[in-house]
A = this chain, B = another copy of it.
């Protein structure tokens, strides 16, 4: 995900308190208290060969390039930022998806190659061509993603210089190394895996992601790459991916800001267990695969929001009783993006009046007197006023832990949605208010 400012070198040397000691990437900030207790162990995936390298694009003493070489005829699908100032790699990928097949993915951290003009597109092309030459495919079959500083020219030659070696067997890497190589301000690597049966044949889904500021929904996502060894045509993949982001990557927000580089790609190598041919997303034999794909997407999305800049608490917001699901989603995001709600939660303040305010500003149909708000199951407001059974101690307890559950029933329809965010703390200001260089 593109962040205009980088961190200072001094800060990068801050002590790392990762539970799993990072081997190839040093976190700039202490590991989020919301980090998973352990990392998912991703199995090898037939048709995907990973390699990471240190190109020295911006960081020192860490990997910053990931190459995934994919089996011939790998099918691809993608969802991207809706930003009108999208990065060169995003434009490159959009064009590449028209072909439907992929042979390689190259990701670099440290430079977003965004707002870099013609030189930016030239750089993207150079990386793609260099990779294509090493893999033996068309440049259009190479997918690209870049994350880091906006507006700095991409030192493409530093990447192309090491690409040949990475594509060769020499630098094979596992999923954990892959997840680490794409980190920027992330405080931990993000991985998820699942298996699914397609007509009695087991297939695997592996995914990695990075965050962790400039994250808002409805604009695709930050960077996330999901791979499966199932054999599913590009069109069906795209349909399942587009459906899956709605309740995962499009249902999280850290700060309402949207990156120029948000990219989510899904690759299907078809090199796993041989299952009968499936052609469309509607095929019932894909039902379990769809469920598991959505679970992987949600798992990764939640890992991203748990690593929101400065996050101390994960906030889960359930909206029910809205006019439509879409209206519920918008009300949920109005609450999730409200700085006043987020700062109140940070201060363990059961300030339900701010939730009322956020519902009121969402622009969706709402009726003050039908609204019911609960914190952690404790009803704090209903019938247009503070709930009769309101208990300050219970309400405060509900907003004091690492997970805060807010439920809002609008009482006017059947629309519902669940969204997630994190609290807004001094850490966010600290991270984003420090000078770039």
A353 & B435 in contact (Cβ 8 Å cutoff): no
Q: Give Cα A371 to B83, complex, Å.
A: 14
Per-position binary interface string of chain A over residues 211-236, scored 1 when its CB falls under 8 Å from any chain B CB and 0 otherwise: 00110100100000000000000000
Which residue of B is nearest A362, CB measured? B84
Which residue of B is nearest A81, CB measured? B360
A85 & B259 in contact (Cβ 8 Å cutoff): no
Which residue of B is nearest A371, CB measured? B85
Per-position binary interface string of chain A over residues 379-415, scored 1 when its CB falls under 8 Å from any chain B CB and 0 otherwise: 0010111100000000000000000000000000000
A window 334-385: CB within 8 A of B: 337-340, 343-344, 346-349, 351-354, 356-369, 371, 381, 383-385
Q: Give Cα A216 to B339, complex, Å.
A: 12
B356 & A432 in contact (Cβ 8 Å cutoff): no
Question: Which of A86, A213, A339, A381 has the largest count of B CB atoms less than 10 A from its CB?
Answer: A339
Question: Which of A149, A258, A367 has the largest count of B CB atoms less than 10 A from its CB?
Answer: A258
B347 & A257 in contact (Cβ 8 Å cutoff): no
A151 & B356 in contact (Cβ 8 Å cutoff): yes
Which residue of B is nearest A120, CB measured? B385
Q: Does A171 contact B (CB under 8 A)?
A: no
A window 108-162: CB within 8 A of B: 112, 114-120, 149-153
B85 & A4 in contact (Cβ 8 Å cutoff): no
Q: Given the interface contacts A257-B338, A340-B213, A340-B214, does A85 sit within 8 Å of B359 by beta carbon? A: yes
B150 & A357 in contact (Cβ 8 Å cutoff): yes
Question: Which of A115, A153, A213, A256 has the largest count of B CB atoms less than 10 A from its CB?
Answer: A115
Q: Does A201 contact B (CB under 8 A)?
A: no
Q: Given the interface contacts A85-B366, A340-B4, A366-B85, does A435 sit within 8 Å of B352 by beta carbon? A: no
B432 & A343 in contact (Cβ 8 Å cutoff): yes
B residues less than 8 Å from A282 (CB atoms):
none
Chain B's nearest CB lies how many Å from the CB of A41?
35
A116 & B385 in contact (Cβ 8 Å cutoff): yes
A357 & B258 in contact (Cβ 8 Å cutoff): yes
Q: Give Cα A258 to B363, complex, Å.
A: 11
Q: Which of B357, B366, B368 contacts A2 (CB 8 A)?
A: B357
A356 & B260 in contact (Cβ 8 Å cutoff): yes
Q: Does A5 contact B (CB under 8 A)?
A: yes
Chain B's nearest CB lies how many Å from the CB of A58?
14
Q: Give Cα A324 to B281, complex, Å.
A: 41
Q: Does A434 contact B (CB under 8 A)?
A: yes
A117 & B384 in contact (Cβ 8 Å cutoff): yes
B residues less than 8 Å from A85 (CB atoms):
356-357, 359-360, 366, 368, 371
B258 & A385 in contact (Cβ 8 Å cutoff): no
B residues less than 8 Å from A433 (CB atoms):
343-344, 346-347, 349, 424-425
Chain B's nearest CB lies how many Å from the CB of A306?
18
Q: Give Cα A5 to B309, complex, Å.
A: 25
Name 10 interchain pairs, CB-CB below 8 A, sorted by A. Answer: A2-B353, A84-B363, A85-B371, A114-B356, A150-B356, A260-B356, A343-B429, A344-B432, A347-B434, A424-B429
Q: Give Cα A181 to B141, complex, Å.
A: 68
Q: Give Cα A162 to B5, complex, Å.
A: 56
Per-position binary interface string of chain A over residues 231-266, scored 1 when its CB falls under 8 Å from any chain B CB and 0 otherwise: 000000000000000000000000111111000000
